[in-house]
Structure 1
């Protein structure tokens, strides 16, 4: 669960708060500087890293690993991080740094341009990345085919289906998802392996008729 700035201020010691103040100021400065540059003059070199990106990597060391996700998320938001920066931090980062990117995508103005990062995380076997990848951004941006496979990836890797944002909304009445779940369950059973409990939860949703539209809708 990501913490707000106010919650972090209550948890961090004086040194960590001072470091965070400086880091967020650097991020805000970068956002303001980019806002004054015309789009056709913008430099998106993958090697042009502003100071706040170095802070992003050091968040755990200065604010504690328990708060690193929240600190990194705040930096991305304060910097209004563009796709070039988000991609750079993801591709060059540790698993923890990648997770923070994934957790923040829905709060950045990136449209569907960051979907390759979600797709990359869903190809991984790191359950922390898979769980972060199926958050609100994926719920809003993944097409039905990719989203169904993301749900199956959770089941296959042991990520709780509760991690899937808007699961009830997107799974409800999805006949193709129901078919895929049945096939997956049959394969597990044939191999003498347990069927994940979460599968029955999702299957129940997929077999439920979509809600009838109201007059207002």
Structure 2
């Protein structure tokens, strides 16, 4: 997908990663619409990007999340891609995490992103690229992060299934399994204290890699073992 001139919805644009992705897209010539939870940051970010369309979303309003792609397509005159960066962390032993925390983690990290992307599938024509940030924990669940890891794994599994369903239609589905980044994300957890975490990967380099993955129609972005991330363009074989 050529980013220059493309029309892209970024959901989660009031977060550090989402804001950086939206800014990077605009710098590469894309027309963007942004959505996020914090109204103050959303308005400021939209203004900083030149007055792009902006919509506040609530992860618990799943119908509103599902309507987001239609709103963006209307504002942009069509929609070529949707990038979802919504997420929240929680830490602590699995047997001590309260049910409301687990529900919140699954709603924000799985149900809301799925609702946004499911809504995009109903837009005609369907956006050519659907992407979501899952995280390396989707494939390597971590201790003290049971709910967070499993919620991200659920989102990753949904992406894999949709990729198989839409392969014949040419829809690209990108699973961005990002490593620990220098965003302060862990310090904003809704519960618990982070366990020892690996050295963070630079945000700017990772966002650049994500944008390049979008432009090259990659299906997976994952840590490469050398302190960065690498895109994979091979489609998984259907089972």
TM-score norm. by structure 1 comes to: 0.29
Name the structure, 1 or 2, with higher relative contact order (CA <8 Å, separation 6+): 2
Q: Which has the higher strand share?
A: 2
Q: Which has the higher helix share?
A: 1
Bigger Rg, structure 1 or 2: 1
